[in-house]
Structure 1
Amino acid sequence: MKHPLPDRPQHICVLRLSALGDVCNLVPTVRALQRQWPAARITWVIGKGEHSLLAGLSGVEFVVYDKATGLAGMRALWRELADTRFDVLLHMQQALRASVLSLGLKADVRVGYDKARAKDAQHWFTQRHLAPHPRAHVLESYLDFARLLGVEDLSLAWDLPVPEAAVEEAHHITAASPYLLISPCANPRLRNFRNWSAEGYAAVIEHAWRQHGLKTVLTGGGSTQERQLGERIRALCPEEVVIDVIGETSLKGLLALIRDSRAVVAPDSGPVHMANALGAPVVGLYATTNPERAGPYRWRDFVVDRYADAARTFLHKEPAELSWGQRVRHPDAMSLIGAEDVIERLEAVLAHPEIPQDMESPDEA
């Protein structure tokens, strides 16, 4: 017997802890829930860094879990919500840590992914499952939760809050001059292999300066890998063309920088999805991951896509032979992207700064 879903939920729990790009892609689902049930409370259990990005999101109560606190942090969160019972818990994180965390939350019904999309045995921790949706983009997978609850209006909306302090932080960096924003590094995790070359970025920076008079702002986190790549890029460019603030901005400041840029160039990482959410033109660089699943949703037509080439070259398979979402974990995969490919796509988004009209809403499932 299926657990019944609420017709008019009064209190909805969204469980999604990470990562920056994923929480950006989830916001349209939250907005769809708010449109359907404007009186419903929405509590989002979220990671610490992700909360600093989305803090102030209208109509959402955040409960923050810092994964560095481990089980002690889980217990503290369970105590915080001990007297709260949700009509429905939307378990939107396919990770064992999140599933364990979900066990301490009280809910009438727990909704998770269908078996084909579930990872880390997530379906064992949930009672209702999404309808199958093969080859869905990540953003569409999140909207499937709203579909299952009966939400009808799935049009895309973000309205991410960018406070005035963040705008001032960005203006202090750019002096309000037009600029290209490049976030050259993805998350420096083991065997991530999503980063492009310093030489490639330098060629794009020189083109943006010579052809459009755009300086480039380099952004990113403070890891050694990110700082070193920034230094290599700077060494290949005239000093006056690059503003390097890698490791020096707040996440809200990064939002303001992205929003006010002429365009963004980055590999598969948080900033491409932040740009997508803010309506900023973005060129995503994809070879190790499939942009049809994880590209910047409204700007997928402007992605530099070498995923199929990487699959053939390093896995000796056609993309159709790979499982949906499979990565090409090879250190040379991103070398399949040429500077001329990125420059061509950059010219395309600079000539088309508005959000492409045919990509404003997801396809109906």
Structure 2
Amino acid sequence: MKPSLPAEPNHIAILRLSALGDVCNLVPTVRALQRQWPQARITWIIGKGEHSLLAGLSGVEFVVYDKSTGFAGMRALWRELSDTRFDVLLHMQQAIRASVLSLGLKADVRIGYDKARAKDAQHWFTQYQLAPHAQAHVLESFMDFARLLGVGDTRLEWDMPVPQTALDEARAISGETPYLVINPCSNTRLRNFRNWSVEGYASVIEHAWVHHGLKSVLTGGGSSLEREMGEQIENLCQPDSVINAIGGTSLKGVLALIGQARAVIAPDTGPAHMANAMGTPTLGLYATTNPQRAAPYCWRDFAVNAYPEAVRAYLHKSVEEVPWGQRVRHQDAMALIKTDTVIAQLDTLLAHTASGSRHES
């Protein structure tokens, strides 16, 4: 017999391990749960890197799972939570590894995605599934979990924790000059193909410097690909127009840099959603991913959208003919984004937010 959904849960578990952008998109759901049940404990089972970004999030107890530890790490996590029973488990990670991990957690009720959105047979591991929500943005898919529990107040709130050490780190990099943050690379997964061109970024940096008096701070991880791309961009730019901080910051430092930036430019990658969470105007670059599903939620109208053109060119279909969430895995797709289009959209974004208007963060 299927258990009933809790009317007033005392202890809520969230299972979402990755990735950086996704955990940023999940925070408004956490805030909605906290508004509905301020007395409830919330335990979030999260990945190691993602925890370093969200550490200090108010009202949340984190349990960190490092996926590199494999099954041994799972067993250790199960032991850590062996005396804990949750009123409800929100299974928000669509991966078989996470579903196996969920088996060792004690919960009265388990909620997962509906069959249309579930992957890796996730619905086999849950008792309740979300109501269908066609063409939902990632953020809205997370909020559907709160809706299923009866939460009505779904206004967006983040309140991301940024310690003073991160603010000091950011100030040491950026100085006092107004700046953009450009995070040129997405992560280095196989067949990712989300990165735009070195020449395109260099032209945008030149335009921002000459026409808006804005330096550009390059951010990113320490991989050889990211460092090499940063150096190539830097070599094409005037020395005063760019600060290359790729591989030289903590995640909290990047969050602080983003929070003080005039705007952020990035492809489909975590810092775009970090910017959205901080209320910073964000210009996303999309060709391999549908921005209606994955662009920074509050700035979707400003995204450069070459996705329909990429679907036509490389999948030989229209957007309406491909599944929601379909990616275009072609190495030339991002070349469909034209420099003039990005510059024009940056001008529009800066003009629209000239008074400093930002969403609540």
Q: TM-score, normalised by structure 2?
A: 0.98
Could you tell me how far apart the structure 2 residues matched to 1:106 and 1:348 are?
Answer: 50
**Cα distance, 1:351 vs. partner?**
1.2
1:39 matches 2:39: yes
| C-alpha distance after superposition, 1:328-362 (max 9, x if no partner) | 000000000011111111111111225577xx89x
- Cα offset, 1:240, TM superposition: 2.1
Kept in 1: contact 2:162–2:252 (CA 8 A)? yes
Secondary structure in 2 aligned to 1:325? coil
Question: Which letter does structure 2 place at the counterpart of 1:341?
Answer: T
2:307 maps to 1:307? yes
Structure 1 residue 211 displacement after superposition = 0.4
Q: Residue in 2 aligned with 1:110?
A: 110
| 1:163 pairs with 2:163 | yes
Secondary structure of the residue aligned to 1:70 is helix
Equivalent position of 1:180 in the other structure? 180
Structure 2 SS opposite 1:109? strand
Alpha-carbon shift at residue 231 of structure 1 (Å): 1.0
**Counterpart-to-counterpart distance in 2, 1:71 and 1:91:** 18
- The equivalent of 1:49 in structure 2 is 49
Which residue pairs with 1:93 in the alignment? 93
Looking at structure 2, the residues matched to 174 and 147 of structure 1 have their Cα atoms a distance apart, in angstroms, of 41
- Mapped partners of 1:2, 1:144: distance in 2: 20
Q: Is the 8 A contact 2:281 2:358 kept in 1?
A: no
How has the CA–CA distance of structure 1 residues 239 and 311 changed in structure 2, closer, same or farther, with 3 Å as cutoff?
Answer: same
Offset at 1:237?
Answer: 0.7
2:237 alignment partner in structure 1: 237
Name the counterpart of 2:147.
147
- Structure 2 counterpart SS, 1:97: helix
Tell me, yes or no, if the aligned pair for 2:280 and 2:358 is still in contact at 8 Å: no
1:61-100 alignment, distance < 5 Å: 61-100=61-100
Amino acid at match of 2:190: L
Give the aligned partner of residue 297 of structure 1: 297
Task: For 2:43 and 2:357, locate their aligned partners in 1 and report how far apart those are by CA, in whole Å.
Answer: 30
Cα–Cα, structure 1 residues 277 and 355, in superposed 2: closer, same or farther, change >3 Å?
farther
- 1:191-242 CA distances to partner (integer Å, 9 max, x unpaired)? 0000000000000000000001111100000011111111110111112211
Residues of 1 paired with 2:349 and 2:240: CA distance?
A: 24
For residue 108 of structure 1, give the secondary structure of its aligned residue in structure 2: strand
Distance 1:56 1:139 in 2: 21
**C-alpha displacement of 1:290:** 0.2
Following the alignment from structure 2 to structure 1, what is the Cα–Cα distance between the partners of residues 263 and 325? Answer: 27
Identity, % of aligned pairs?
A: 72
Distance 1:225 1:313, change over 3 A: same
Provide the C-alpha distance between the structure 2 equivalents of 1:265 and 1:14, rounded to a whole number of angstroms.
30
Deviations for 1:144-173, whole angstroms, at most 9, x for unmatched residues?
000000001000000001111100000000
1:74-114 CA distance string (max 9 Å, x none): 11000000000000000000001111110110000100000
**Please, which moves more after superposition, 229-238 or 85-94?**
229-238
Q: CA deviation at 1:292?
A: 0.3
Letter in 1 for 2:188: P
Matches of 2:238 and 2:301 in 1, distance apart? 31
**How far apart, in 2, do the equivalents of 1:86 and 1:293 lie?**
31
Q: Which residue of 2 aligns with 1:219?
A: 219
Deviation at 1:264, TM superposition (A): 0.4
Instruction: Tell me, in whole angstroms, the C-alpha distance in 2 between the residues paired with 1:48 and 1:205.
Output: 33
Instruction: Report the equivalent of 1:255.
Output: 255
Instruction: Output the CA distance in 2 between the equivalents of 1:131 and 1:92.
Output: 14
2:88 touches 2:107 (CA, 8 Å); kept in 1?
Answer: yes
Contact 1:264/1:281 (8 A) holds in 2: yes
Question: What corresponds to 1:19 in structure 2?
Answer: 19
Q: Contact conserved, 1:298 with 1:356, CA < 8 A, in 2? A: no
**SS of the residue aligned with 2:42?**
strand
Q: Which letter does structure 2 place at the counterpart of 1:93?
A: Q
CA distance in 1, matches of 2:177, 2:196: 26
Secondary structure, counterpart of 1:205 in structure 2:
helix
| Structure 2 residues not aligned, in runs of 5+ | none
CA–CA distance in structure 2, aligned partners of residues 356 and 261 of structure 1? 12
Distance 1:90-1:216 versus aligned 2 partners, 3 A rule: same
Matches within 5 A, 1:183-194: 183-194=183-194
TM-score of the two chains, using structure 1 as the length reference: 0.97
Aligned residue number for residue 4 of structure 1:
4
Partner in structure 2 of residue 286 of structure 1: 286
**What SS class does the counterpart of residue 342 from structure 1 fall into?**
helix
* Distance in 2 between residues matched to 1:218 and 1:174, nearest whole Å: 10
**1:275 partnered with 2:304:** no
How many equivalent pairs are there?
359
Instruction: Return the alpha-carbon distance in structure 2 between the equivalents of residues 111 and 355 of structure 1.
Output: 37
Task: Tell me, in whole angstroms, the C-alpha distance in 2 between the residues paired with 1:125 and 1:56.
Answer: 30
Contact preservation (8 Å) 1:262, 1:281: yes
Does the CA-based 8 Å contact 2:279-2:358 persist in structure 1?
no
